[in-house]
Amino acid sequence: MANIVAVTACPTGIAHTFMAAEALRRAAQAAGHTLRVETQGSVGTQDALSAAEIAAADAVILAADVNVDEGRFAGKIIIRASTREVIADAAALIARAATGSPAPAPTPAPATASTGGSLHVVGITACPTGIAHTFMAAEGLEGGAKKLGHTVKIETQGSVGAGNALTPDDIARADLVVIAADTNVDLSRFTGKRVYVTGTKPAIRDGAAVVTTALAQATVHGASASGGADASSPDFVAQAAAAKASKNAGVPSFYKHLMTGVSHMLPFVVAGGLLIALAFAIGSFQFGDQGIFIYEDKYAGTLGNTLFKIGANGAFGLFVPVLAGYIAFSIADRPGLAPGMIGGFLAGLTGSGFLGGIIAGFLAGYIVLWLTRSIRLPRTLEGLKPTLLLPLLGTLAVGLLMMFVIGQPVAAALTGLTTWLQGLGNTSAGLLGALLGAMMAFDMGGPINKAAYTFSTGLLGAKVYGPIAAVMAAGMTPPLALFLATLVFKNRFTKDEVEAGKAAGVLGVSFITEGAIPFAARDPLRVIPALMAGSAAAGAISMAAGCLLRAPHGGIFVLFIPNAVTNLPMYVVAILAGTVVSTVMLGILKKPLGADGLPLVKGVPQAVNAAD
């Protein structure tokens, strides 16, 4: 009698996955062999194989139509087949596995921090916008791993898709997997690998420290703390990964779920906003001052009116459903996507806008997750859960709650918020602008920054354009101020920082606040307050002057589009004033440096202490 383990998986993770598993079970039972099957389906990994079960197995059957991590089966006899081959003749595969040669001796354990030696480190970096933090974290991990003598490959999940993508061979050879992400990352590829999850900021600050910590704290993904999977809880792996991610990243899972939705929403908002701005520009060119009303029916059929409909009705019409859908996706994986998107669409129907969409996304995610854990079906009917039961029951529950319980109260709250924002006087508007501006500079792409940006972009659907104008002005000033400060107060910065200032200037005009992070990381107690002061000034001037922005991104480049910005002269003044305030503050707070790069006190070099 042979002891066999198997993994089944198909692209959809539904019918073929479970049919192949059942065929193998019947064939093994008929032949008198023991068999344990792990299914990798659309509702996650079920009946995950433990390390002990794999070690005791005489052979492994991989019945998969997609890539499956084979690293945890090193040293085992592996029988590979498609799910169709298994369904057609499972008995033949069981016979091949049972008559295979004895398992070879175990392969030596990979080197660790304690044993020494070079490791192969792989990882993924990702941030909500998929721009600066993603690539800066990747650079930090690569530099840190190489500094420690390891080989490394990092996949960046950025705004244009995956860059430097990890191949199955990369993952199979990996001794350690490091995930530095501020959004949820699919870990299914790394089952059986030692995985460590953290945020992007630790990787940016000190990549070598992250790799060192990962070597000490990484855990095997897909195994419980006791070394075996909990078969009674098919979503155990997802729960453990989420808990680990939250603990290591230092931010609540709530934020990660929200930022996953925001990261997928942003392309719709940016595309819609820029198309609307272009519509106004074309309308102004065709109809002069009346072009600002290009959305009216009397201009139907014109290019400007058509672009406005594409942006406002198309892109803006989708951004709340996408936001809600991917919040739910982050919580409950693919089964949450449809209920979340439908809930977001209903938020639009009820007038509850982006606030209703956020609520719908979380409701859909947690309801579907609860249904996934609660509904138990015979193995032969498991395929019905992701295709029929979860979308139906999840959508039914979320839809009824949105239509009868949540939609109207949230719509009233959003209407009240919109009316309040539109009725703000100059002083009150200036205070709100200062608050949003300070938030943008506080952590430059972190949770506080993203909260201000998400709040402002969400209001675009309600045609409230003041906050986003303040946010973009305030987000541009930190890197612009550092660029200017490295020119005016060059003796306050190292040679490397002076060079980095040039790049910060380019990022600043492009509204990429993260260009200021390297400076803030080196001297946070002086740089961050200086940047917050300038950003608060920029936001206050923008809001108090009544500046409006219809394109939620693009930096200085959207300023050249006619009617994209209301009160353009004062908007330019806001950006310049904020930049100057931060530049002066940097000159005051930062100390001149000596030839050795240390601050000078009365002309004498002083070591930088912890407070510095």
Digit-coded pLDDT (tens) for 100-124: 644 333 344 444 444 445 788 999 9
CB-based contact 354:461 (threshold 8 Å) = yes
pLDDT at 525: 86
- Indicate whether this model's pTM tops 0.85: no
127 is catalytic: yes
Flag whether pLDDT at 450 surpasses 80.
Answer: no
Flag whether pLDDT at 445 surpasses 50.
Answer: yes
Provide the pLDDT confidence category of residue 160 given band limits of 50, 70 and 90: low
Q: How far apart are CA 131 and CA 138, in angstroms?
A: 11
Flag whether pLDDT at 236 surpasses 80.
Answer: no
Provide the pLDDT confidence category of residue 597 given band limits of 50, 70 and 90: low
CB-based contact 45:39 (threshold 8 Å) = yes
Residue whose tokens read 């019409």: 317
- pLDDT: is 463 or 44 the higher one? 463
pLDDT at 252: 55
pLDDT at 401: 95
pLDDT at 343: 94
Flag whether pLDDT at 168 surpasses 80.
Answer: yes
Average of per-residue pLDDT values in the chain: 80
- CA dihedral sign, ordered 366, 371, 372, 374: positive
Provide the pLDDT confidence category of residue 478 given band limits of 50, 70 and 90: very high
Q: Identify residue 162 by its one-letter amino acid code.
A: A
- pLDDT: is 233 or 457 the higher one? 457
DSSP conformation class of 375: -
Q: What is the mean pLDDT of residues 175-182?
A: 88
CB-based contact 80:13 (threshold 8 Å) = no
Flag whether pLDDT at 81 surpasses 60.
Answer: yes
Sheet holding 59-64, edge to edge: 44-46, 34-41, 3-9, 59-64, 78-81
Q: How far apart are CA 295 and CA 235, in angstroms?
A: 49
Provide the pLDDT confidence category of residue 1 given band limits of 50, 70 and 90: confident
Q: What percentage of residues in the chain have a pLDDT greater than 90?
A: 21
Flag whether pLDDT at 187 surpasses 50.
Answer: yes
Flag whether pLDDT at 535 surpasses 90.
Answer: yes
* End-to-end Cα, the chain, rounded Å: 69
Structure tokens at 194: 């030692």
Residue whose tokens read 């300038």: 534
SS (H, E, C) 113-176: CCCCCCCEEEEEEECCCCCHHHHHHHHHHHHHHHHCCCEEEEEEEECCEEECCCCHHHHHHCCE
Flag whether pLDDT at 249 surpasses 80.
Answer: no
- pLDDT: is 27 or 182 the higher one? 27
Q: What is the mean pLDDT of residues 174-183?
A: 87
Residue partners of 484: CB distance under 8 A and separation at least 6: 505, 579, 580, 583
pLDDT at 531: 93
pLDDT at 394: 93
pLDDT at 242: 40
Q: What percentage of residues in the chain have a pLDDT greater than 70?
A: 85
What ranges in 333-465 are assigned the alpha helix state H? 337-350, 353-374, 384, 390-401, 407-422, 426-442, 447-458
383-387: long-range pairs with CB below 8 Å, 24+ = 383/14, 383/15, 383/17, 383/18, 383/41, 385/43, 385/335, 386/13, 386/14, 386/41, 386/42, 386/43, 386/334, 386/335, 387/14
Q: What is the pLDDT of residues 397-429, one digit of tens each?
A: 999 999 999 988 988 888 888 788 777 777 788
DSSP β-bridge partners for residue 81: 63
Flag whether pLDDT at 60 surpasses 70.
Answer: yes
Structure tokens at 534: 């300038």
pLDDT at 405: 92
**Considering 6, 62, 81, 127, which one is annotated as catalytic?**
127
- pLDDT: is 388 or 594 the higher one? 388
Structure tokens at 182: 């501020």
Residue partners of 501: CB distance under 8 A and separation at least 6: 482, 483, 485, 486, 487, 493
Q: What is the mean pLDDT of residues 173-191?
A: 84
Between helix 337-350 and helix 407-422 the angle, nearest 10°, is 60
Q: How far is CA 368 from CA 337, 358, 362, 387, 402, in A?
A: 9, 16, 10, 13, 15
Q: What is the mean pLDDT of residues 341-364?
A: 91
Flag whether pLDDT at 484 surpasses 90.
Answer: yes
- pLDDT: is 591 or 359 the higher one? 359
